[in-house]
């Protein structure tokens, strides 16, 4: 099971961190931008190439200390075909360095459309009888709002190709409670708890030797009380935890996402690592040329922070 590989990597590195590769042009050092635009002009191809070169430097700096990366597709998709090519190349490069890749795509649509998304990102596409892998992520994020039939195609490809998904359950954004915290039915259960039960049930056939399922849940660090409820409700579900750092989540808040042995979740940090060289705590030591070294330092600092509260 892919979840066992992810947990093994977390255990080997003593680090339950995933770095979000969510670049913006103002995060990319000028020397990388200038070189990319000199080759491609002020075009989407130039922006996409700048992102890819930026990502390569980051991956080279963290691959031996961080188990996984999570590229956010929107940052690449905005630049069209060139951006999606950079997204695909980033995934391939991270995997070549032994990293687990979580594609943050948050897809959610009717079954026939979900099947196309699933085949492209997790499975294979059929081209005149030949099967081709396109994106190649190990996991992707999925929005379940349209119901079970919109999730089933992803479950099928997880089974057929040994992949995994993280389903949005209780997200870290400020407005998540508008819908997710609504109470439904006579038993007082919220929407997020109901979705959590679905995720738990979907994952029963995907539990690995680690005791966790490859069908995971996105649970935000910014809502520790809800996360604690979900951890008790979903003992075999692995959590992808956004919200640490810039969104206000602290190590003390997200400890409830883990079991007593320090297993059970992986914590995302995006700008706090990839743009660390711009932060006040790092910019005196690292200039633009040292952006990757600053990212490594920030990743190690995050690891140490998590280990204050989690026996990882």
pLDDT at residue 198 greater than cutoff 90 = yes
As a whole number of angstroms, the distance between CA 59 and CA 22 comes to: 13
* % the chain with pLDDT above 70: 100
> What does the pLDDT read at residue 311?
83
DSSP type of residue 130: E
Question: In angstroms, how far is the first alpha carbon of the chain from the final one?
Answer: 21
Catalytic residues: 106
The pLDDT-based confidence of 279 (bands split at 50, 70, 90) is very high
The pLDDT-based confidence of 253 (bands split at 50, 70, 90) is confident
Cβ(22)–Cβ(273) under 8 Å? Answer: no
Cβ(171)–Cβ(222) under 8 Å? Answer: no
> What does the pLDDT read at residue 312?
74
> What does the pLDDT read at residue 179?
93
Q: What domains are defined for the chain?
A: 2-309 (3.20.20.70)
Going 33 to 38 to 39 to 43, the CA torsion angle's sign is positive
Cβ(110)–Cβ(147) under 8 Å? Answer: no
Helices 80-96 and 44-62 pack at an angle, to 10 degrees, of: 10
Mean residue pLDDT across the chain = 96
The helix or strand, by DSSP H or E, that contains position 20, with its residue range, turns out to be strand 17-21
The pLDDT-based confidence of 68 (bands split at 50, 70, 90) is very high
pLDDT at residue 110 greater than cutoff 80 = yes
User: What does the pLDDT average to over 273-288?
Assistant: 94
- Total residues found in the chain within this entry: 312
Q: What is the pLDDT of residues 7-50, one digit of tens each?
A: 999 999 999 999 999 999 999 999 999 999 999 999 999 999 99
pTM of the predicted protein model: 0.96
Cβ(251)–Cβ(306) under 8 Å? Answer: yes
Using alpha carbons, select from 257, 272, 223, 270 the residue that is nearest to residue 21.
270
DSSP character string of 182-248 = -EETTTTEEHHHHHHHHHHHHGGGGB-TTS-EEEEEEE-TT-HHHHHHHHHH-TTEEEEE--BSTTS
pLDDT at residue 95 greater than cutoff 80 = yes
How would you classify the pairing of strands 100-107 and 125-127?
A: unpaired
The pLDDT-based confidence of 84 (bands split at 50, 70, 90) is very high
pLDDT at residue 246 greater than cutoff 80 = no
As a whole number of angstroms, the distance between CA 113 and CA 139 comes to: 18
């Amino acid at each position: 099971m892919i979840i066992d590989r992810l947990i093994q990597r977390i255990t080997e590195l003593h680090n339950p961190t995933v770095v979000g590769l969510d670049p913006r042009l103002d995060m990319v050092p000028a020397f990388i931008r200038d070189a990319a635009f000199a080759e491609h002009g002020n075009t989407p191809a130039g922006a996409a190439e700048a992102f890819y070169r930026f990502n390569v430097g980051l991956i080279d700096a963290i691959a031996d200390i961080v188990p996984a990366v999570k590229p956010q597709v929107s940052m690449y998709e905005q630049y069209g075909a060139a951006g999606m090519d950079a997204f695909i190349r980033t995934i391939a490069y991270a995997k070549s360095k032994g990293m687990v890749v979580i594609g943050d795509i948050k897809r959610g649509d009717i079954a026939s459309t979900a099947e196309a998304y699933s085949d492209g990102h997790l499975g294979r596409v059929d081209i005149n009888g030949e099967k081709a892998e396109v994106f190649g992520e190990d996991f992707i994020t999925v929005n379940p709002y349209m119901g079970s039939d919109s999730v089933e195609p992803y479950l099928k490809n997880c089974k057929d190709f040994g992949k995994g998904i993280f389903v949005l359950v209780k997200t870290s954004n400020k407005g998540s409670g508008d819908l997710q915290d609504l109470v439904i039915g006579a038993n007082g259960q919220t929407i997020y708890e109901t979705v959590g039960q679905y995720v738990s049930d979907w994952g029963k056939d995907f539990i690995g030797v680690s005791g966790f399922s490859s069908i995971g849940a996105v649970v935000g660090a910014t809502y520790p009380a809800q996360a604690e409820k979900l951890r008790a409700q979903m003992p075999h579900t692995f959590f992808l935890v956004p919200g640490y750092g810039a969104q206000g989540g602290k190590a003390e808040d997200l400890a409830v996402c883990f079991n007593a042995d320090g297993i059970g979740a992986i914590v995302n940090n995006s700008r706090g690592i990839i743009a660390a060289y711009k932060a006040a705590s790092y910019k005196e030591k690292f200039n633009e040329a040292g952006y990757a070294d600053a990212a490594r330092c920030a990743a190690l600092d995050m690891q140490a922070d998590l280990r204050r509260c989690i026996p990882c």
